[in-house]
Amino acid sequence: MTDFPGAPTNPGDGRRLRVLAAMSGGVDSAVAAARAAEAGHDVTGVHLALSANPKSFRTGARGCCTIEDSHDARRAADVIGIPFYVWDLADRFREDVVEDFFAEYAEGRTPNPCLRCNEKIKFAALLDKALALGFDAVCTGHYATIVVNQDGSRELHRASDTAKDQSYVLGVLDERQLAHALFPLGDTLTTKEEIRAEAAARRLSVAKKPDSHDICFIADGDTQGFLAKRLGTAEGDILDEDGTKLGTHTGAYGYTVGQRKGLRLGVPAADGKPRYVLDISPVNNTVTVGPADALDVTALTAIRPRWCGTPPAAGVPATYTAQLRAHGADVPVTVELDPDTQELWVRFTGEPVRGIAPGQAVVLYDGTRVVGSATIATTERRTQARATA
């Protein structure tokens, strides 16, 4: 039986694994399921119904949760020759991802719903259900690599092709979840075009389907409008760093740190340069703007860490690199874990990093290995005292 690196095998027995392949209806998850089946595992495909009204989610190139996607996933499973089911996780998704999204924006933070979905849905609700039904692992089309150590422990690493690496959104997985995860595309040193060519060679109709992007549960892509329907409108002030009123807004939740467009300021900057959102205060419903260099962050604190294995020693500074956006570059940092609060203090040892928003995730790396992930709580800027959410 052939296999791929990181498969959760029982050493020495060569047993065939029961694998539940999460099939979104896209090309990556379809090829991942096909590779798992080709490796000799007993694979069952499942599409997650995440909306009580699937038509409210995106369609075509901008979705991953539509009726069309479930049909595409079913057709791919039929071609691969594996059983296929649709599982209704709409209530769990609404509670753990959508409601969390609203709550974070209401508090002036900028969440990443893809990380929350991986943490709470794909590798919690789905994995727990899979294990209860006797499956050994959940397989997805993420580009990341699992390395198995000699002692049997597992590490999450970047994909072999760093251009497609998705380890950032998987940094919320713990060691137990990694022990039951398969990422068949992670060690693939191929381009996306070659993945599509493989799908076409396997006669999968999704070979030419465009990739999904943006937030799947916002049907028209209008995040501010989506938030306004739930959180309502409330006029507030847009201020400069000195507290001078420059304009008004209809809801502070509609802005994020680093935003430049859509400010509609009535008073131009004295130097004629663009202004950016520096802070959002839900307490008094104000948005503070300023020059680009006021966004330079030298350090941050992060809460609710999740470790992909052994955590760093508490109270002892450690050297890592950090990634702060899904497609952001690595930056060198020193990290210290508070032994009492479990809060992380992260200091950038190179150039300051611009436009970091509370609520986003910081993912730590030791080389290519993912150490863990935490939620950004506060930032310290080069030009001002630490800003809080």
Residue-wise pLDDT for 206-238, tens only, equals 999 887 766 788 877 788 888 888 988 889 999
- CB 295 within 8 Å of CB 337: no
Tokens of 193: 């075009």
Residues sharing a CB contact under 8 Å with residue 69, sequence separation 6 or more, in sequence order: 24, 25, 26, 47, 63
Catalytic residue among 65, 117, 139, 308: 117
Q: Which residue has the tokens 């050493």?
A: 11
Catalytic residue among 64, 65, 216, 308: 216
pLDDT of residue 16: 84
- CB 259 within 8 Å of CB 276: yes
Half-sphere exposure of residue 207, counting CA atoms within 13 Å on the CB side? 14
Cα distance between residue 235 and residue 185, in whole Å: 48
pLDDT of residue 302: 97
Instruction: Name the helix (H) or strand (E) containing 170.
Output: none
What DSSP state is assigned to residue 143? -
pTM of the model: 0.88
What DSSP state is assigned to residue 26? S
The 10 Å Cβ neighbour count of residue 252 is: 25
Cα distance between residue 342 and residue 175, in whole Å: 18
Cα distance between residue 275 and residue 289, in whole Å: 6
- CB 67 within 8 Å of CB 201: no
Assign 7 a pLDDT band (cuts: 50, 70, 90). Answer: low
Strand partners, 86: 47
- CB 105 within 8 Å of CB 227: yes
Average pLDDT (312-330) is 92
pLDDT of residue 367: 96
pLDDT of residue 55: 54
User: Domains along the chain?
Assistant: 18-208 (3.40.50.620), 233-290 (2.30.30.280), 294-388 (2.40.30.10)
Instruction: Identify whether 117 is a catalytic site residue.
Output: yes
- CB 148 within 8 Å of CB 105: no
Instruction: Identify whether 65 is a catalytic site residue.
Output: no
- CB 370 within 8 Å of CB 355: no
DSSP string, 130-141: HHHTT--EEE--
Assign 162 a pLDDT band (cuts: 50, 70, 90). Answer: confident
Cα distance between residue 248 and residue 189, in whole Å: 50
pLDDT of residue 10: 38
Cα distance between residue 74 and residue 85, in whole Å: 8
